Amino acid sequence: MSISAIGPGQSSWAQQVQQVGGSAANGHGGMRKAGMDAAATALGMTPDGVRSALGGGQSLSSLAQAKGISAASLASTVSAALSSANPSLSSARAEQIADRMISGPSSDARGAAGVGDADHDGDSH
The least confident of 14-18, 27-31, 63-67 is 14-18
Q: What is the pTM of this model?
A: 0.64
Whether the Cβ atoms of residue 82 and residue 89 lie closer than 8 Å to each other: yes
Q: What is the pLDDT of residues 37-56, one digit of tens each?
A: 999 999 999 999 999 999 99
Q: What is the pLDDT of residues 105-124, one digit of tens each?
A: 653 443 333 333 334 344 44
Mean pLDDT rounded to a whole number for the chain: 73
